[in-house]
């Protein structure tokens, strides 16, 4: 990683954090945000919305992938990087593999269901026909604090 890579990843992660805040503020959802970037531009963005949509698959990453597909008219995104504030779960990880996302950058690790190294190694498994480069811990403290505050209010 170069300093430029670090700055770029932090820039996009800050936008994902803004989407995470929208999830909570606008919809009362768990604050997770995601965006898909290709060639320096956002092609899809989303935040958790499974409660409001009554859809267990409406995680931030899936929402971003769906929007990108509609926007560019394809379901595959080679060369794209997905930025997400929380380590992806197995469902989201498999969607990214099927979508041929090149890279995932996440904020906070998820020690309960993380599929990017915390619990499962889904994104880099040799069993799949596509592997995704993973970088975790970008703006991890801010991402984690947002989630902890949300759940503290719910208790």
Of residues 29, 61, 67, 87, which has the active-site annotation? 61
> Running DSSP on this structure, what letter comes out for residue 151?
H
CB 68, CB 61: distance < 8 Å: no
Q: Is 4 helix (H, G, I), strand (E, B) or coil?
A: helix
CA dihedral 128, 1, 137, 134 (to 10 degrees): 0
The yes-or-no answer on residue 61 being catalytic is yes
Which residue numbers are catalytic? Answer: 61
């Amino acid at each position: 990683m170069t300093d430029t890579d670090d700055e770029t990843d932090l820039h996009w992660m800050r936008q994902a954090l803004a989407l995470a805040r929208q999830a909570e503020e606008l919809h009362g959802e768990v604050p997770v945000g995601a965006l898909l970037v290709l060639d320096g531009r956002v092609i899809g963005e989303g935040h958790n919305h499974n409660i409001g949509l009554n859809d267990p698959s409406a995680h931030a990453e899936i929402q971003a992938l769906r929007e990108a597909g509609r926007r560019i008219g394809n379901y595959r995104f080679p060369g794209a990087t997905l930025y997400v504030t929380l380590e992806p779960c197995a469902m989201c990880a498999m969607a990214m593999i099927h979508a041929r996302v090149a890279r995932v950058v996440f904020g906070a690790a998820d020690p309960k269901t993380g599929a990017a190294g915390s619990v499962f190694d889904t994104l880099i498994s040799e069993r799949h026909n596509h592997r995704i480069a993973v970088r975790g811990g970008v703006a991890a403290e801010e991402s984690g604090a947002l989630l902890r505050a949300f759940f503290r209010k719910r208790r």
